[in-house]
Structure 1
Amino acid sequence: MKVLLAGGGTAGHTSPLLATAEVLREAGVEVTCLGTPRGLEVTLIPQAGYPLELVPPVPLPRKPGADLAKVPVRLKRSVAAAREVIERVQPDVVCGFGGYVSVPAYLAARKRVPIVVHEGNARPGIANKLGARFTTHVATSFPGTDLPHAQLIGLPIRRLISGLDRDALRAEARAFFGLEADRPTLLVTGGSQGARRINHAVSGAARELADAGVQVLHVAGRVDEAAPDRHQGDPPYVVEGFVDRMDLAYAAADFIVCRAGANTVTEVAVTGLPAAFVPLPIGNGEQAVNAHPVVQSGGALLIDDAAFTSRWVEQVVVPLLRDTTRLAQMSQAAAHELPRDADQRLAQMVLDAAAGAPGPADGVR
């Protein structure tokens, strides 16, 4: 069996693609990936050992202008390139994860090859709204996503994370980052590019954190944006530009401050790590909606970007890190809120679609 997986641009599309590809490859499926020359997929997919085909990107301008007028021609060219890949690779099914590359993939596959759609965010993007019109095999990551034929399966994440035992790894993880074994530990991350608001707010509260006996692992993206006020004898405040062992970072922590991208929300929840989600203040508000199920369960807090200040860290985060009972309750609530086996579920949906099995809502079109 052959499968074409279309997704890229950001980690939000590439990470679930790779998690699903791993399951399919283990099942003996021949996996080919489709991306554009501009995204993270150019590096990450070949590194993971999958062949990558590229099509021209078709960005959709948010405002009228010359670029918007060029979209039809660019889309036609990209669809033709995707169709050429499909004719050459001969996949039994095309699975899209959203983003620029999925639109030409869906249009090229329509009426030729079965389509599976996976939406990573709580609010669907334009690409997957289109793709969901062509198939009944539609998977979503969060409750309430408004797509036809949607089946909630969760977001595929790496097994290194979905199978993580934080308690068992805690001592090793803290030693790995140069942290002390028995102190309350705060993990801070704004994602792979960092987040200036988060960096400045937390580093600005470094004195209060130290006085409370809290140690910090701060993944800042830009190290120069996290300059904590430290004195000799203070608990460790470790600043890293980037961490590729996020499993150990999660295991080291008692609490995390982070953005609310779909991957982050899912990974934090399934590992049972209590969180303060600070949604990115741009886009269509999907990050806040991503966080809602975990927040409503009691497993996390939600704070607007503009309201996330050093004073908020001092008044809310510091007391939480000293309240072990509350942290245990939050951990328990978060760990049972989102599916942790979405990679298996989505792979099975792909296999079912390729085999001609009906989707969960088949017959209603």
Structure 2
Amino acid sequence: MGSGKRTLTTAAIALVCTVTVLGAPGAAYATPGRPAPRPAPSGSPDATRAAGSAADGGRLEVVREKLDQLYHDAAVATDAYNAAEEKSKRQSTQIVRLAKEIVKGQERLARLKDRAGAAARAQYRGGGLPPGVRLWLSDDPQEFLDGAGTAIQGERATEEMLADMTRTQKDLKQYARDAAAQWDALEANRKAKAEAKKKIQTQIDAAEKLQSQLKKQEQERLRKLEDEAAYKAQTAWLSSGILKDISGKASAEGRKAVQFATHQIGKPYVWGAEGPKSFDCSGLTSQAWAAAGDPIPRTSQEQWKQLRHVAIKDMRPGDLVIYFSDASHVAMYIGDGAIVHSPRPGRTVTITGAGSMPILGVVRPDA
């Protein structure tokens, strides 16, 4: 790891540790020994400013919730896009395989037809007479019997050849039907991808338009509200005492996956991206485990469906934490109550608290 990358990772982990400590039960915001501020008298300039600030805060909170919903919907559409993309890749591979089988079958059929033609010509040259007539006309009965044995073998070979031709023709028809079905499915997935892409862009455009209407100070305040919401959720999660029960040690593959994922810190979120310059949430986790030598499904929903589920108290570094009831987001647990993930458009790969979002469950890629 380069020195710059180490510094970035260390700083991020230090930040998470700070959040973990501050988020522990009993943490307070007030400065010890300092009297609590008294409310300003009603109608005073301070009271007016406070009321205005509260109103702005309420409006920005509504904006934050709206943005959360827009980006969540974009994440769902991104998962649909990624799933269609994976299916398209598999279908394209299958179509290529079938095309190769069809070419091989056609070549085999051509060879069989040549052999059948040669056999027919040989029979024609032999006169096509019945065996009894040929025996009667033969000057050497033993020679005839030897030739008859050879002829019988030839007839059997011809029968086998004709049966082989029939099988090959049947296989060719089946390959053609399979290829046509795969092509239809590929076209359907292309349409699904296009529709998902349209939905993603619609949600992201709406979110960016909403944010662009905010002043710089409001955007800064909005970012603070996002951090405060994540902090509040992490605090509540830690208050359950769950961290005392989590003590699992990473496997060798898990350590490699964590190392890969943390090396991507600072790279931007781009929907549908699998690196190396940008990632979406499941692009980061799937590539991290591929780098660890244990490929996993591409999307967060398939990761939730196909990988083995483990209890939160049993999770260990390298495990994947799945978020929201529709499994639309995924992160990697790295220990000490922290995750590394690619959050959403406009953000970069970062480290945050594992409880900062609603947890659906945990899955283990290297079960």
Report the TM-score range of the alignment, normalised by the length of the smaller protein: under 0.3
Larger radius of gyration: 2
- TM norm structure 2: 0.23
Q: Compare the two structures and name the one with the higher helix fraction.
A: 2
- Which protein has greater RCO, CA pairs closer than 8 Å, 6+ apart? 2
Q: Compare the two structures and name the one with the higher strand fraction.
A: 1
- TM norm structure 1: 0.23
